[in-house]
Amino acid sequence: DTAVSQTPKYLVTQMGNDKSIKCEQNLGHDTMYWYKQDSKKFLKIMFSYNNKELIINETVPNRFSPKSPDKAHLNLHINSLELGDSAVYFCASCRVRSNQPQHFGDGTRLSIL
């Protein structure tokens, strides 16, 4: 009955590979997010989808492509992985009204060899 679930929890892969991270929320929220947390714990927003529509697209390389097949899912595909992509990626969701908190998954730790 996890509210926001991400898979996989750990992802170890070689430079140049393509990988995907999946996220699902069962809270009935209309907005989902991807964040990147670096080694210094700084959390930076990457993308946001509201009702399957891309709302926020921060300065992220084109190698990162989010896909939202429905309101409950937001997946992240990464092409041609680079060493600098090593980080923890968090999915989050909320209902977009003022004063609504975001709910986070437990993160996917991506390590590039």
Partner 1 sequence: SQQGEEDPQALSIQEGENATMNCSYKTSINNLQWYRQNSGRGLVHLILIRSNEREKHSGRLRVTLDTSKKSSSLLITASRAADTASYFCATHSGAGSYQLTFGKGTKLSVIP
Interface with partner 1 (CB under 8 A): 4, 31, 40-45, 48, 50, 55-56, 90, 92, 96-99, 101-107
DSSP secondary structure string for all residues of 10-54: EEEE-TT--EEEEEEE-S--SEEEEEEE-TT--EEEEEEEETTEE
CB of 83 to partner 1, least distance (A): 22
Report yes or no: 71 and 53 within 8 Å, Cβ to Cβ. Answer: no
Closest CB to partner 1 among residues 64, 104: 104
User: From the CB of 46, what's the least distance to partner 1, in Å?
Assistant: 11
Least distance in angstroms from the C-beta of 90 to partner 1:
6
Enter the tokens of residue 56.
Answer: 């926020």
